[in-house]
Amino acid sequence: MPTFAALALATPLFGLSLQVPVLASPELHPDVVAQLAPGAPDPAQLEDAAIAAQLRQRQEIALVHRAFGVATWASMAATAVLGFIQFGDEYGFHGARSETACAQGTAVLQDFCEGTPWPHAVAGFTTAALYFTTFTLSFFMPDPLDLEHQQSDWAERVRIHRALRWVHLGGVVLQALLGIFIANHEAFGLDTNDDFDALQALAGVHMGVGIVTFGALSAAAALVTF
């Protein structure tokens, strides 16, 4: 198996898994396996058919993983856009609630100035469902070539990619908690008018975390795509 093809099959990309067709058992050479995965099992002790089966399993899961990953990225982008609009309508950078677009009746999403901002909320929950489905699928993709322990520029990219997944995971969780809190602030004792500054600050943090999360997700995918 060519080195590039082996690397491609061994790379779990969050949204866009790099795959090549696996139509037959791979030809394994000791020097190639040693180069690709230091510390990996001796190829003489592992049947070609077993590795081929794992690579086929990986390819099958990757097809679903890829589809969910692309959907997650697109959904998160849409959620961010709706979030920016909601922030501008409800808070913006005004000093008081009375100065906002919602209070002036000029909001883009005027019908959602009070209560739950459903367009943004539905997009957010959809993104979360897609994200956690994609994230979970990545752990079911076999890595018979043990890419994690290779010493190469490509392997380093993959290690950074895998580290970034914890950044965007934390961001998604924090985003959900902040969003639920802000949308239900009255239940937590905050008044829309009297606590405008506090809510504006929380909404700003919510938006900032969203930018970082989307950036981490995009960077993680780009590292093993380009």
Tens of pLDDT, residue by residue over 169-197, are 999 999 999 999 999 999 999 999 999 99
| Cα gap 88→84, rounded to integer Å | 6
CA distances from 19 to 65, 128, 208 (A): 11, 25, 34
Express each pLDDT in 144-176 by its tens digit.
777 677 788 877 887 898 899 999 999 999 999
Quick one: which of 206, 213, 204 has its CA closest to 164? 213
Quick one: which of 218, 219, 217 has its CA closest to 170? 217
Express each pLDDT in 65-101 by its tens digit.
888 988 999 999 999 999 999 999 999 999 999 999 9
Express each pLDDT in 48-62 by its tens digit.
777 778 878 888 888
Would you tell me how many other CB atoms lie within 10 Å of the CB of residue 126? 16
Torsion from C-alpha of 180, 80, 12, 56, nearest 10 degrees: 90
List alpha helices for the chain, DSSP H: 3-9, 30-36, 48-90, 101-104, 118-138, 153-183, 196-223
Which residue, chain included where needed, has tokens 């001796």? 42
pLDDT tier at 47, thresholds 50, 70, 90: low
Contact 11, 224 (CB under 8 A): yes
Contact 39, 146 (CB under 8 A): yes
Average pLDDT of the chain?
81
Contact 110, 144 (CB under 8 A): no
The pLDDT of residue 13 is: 47
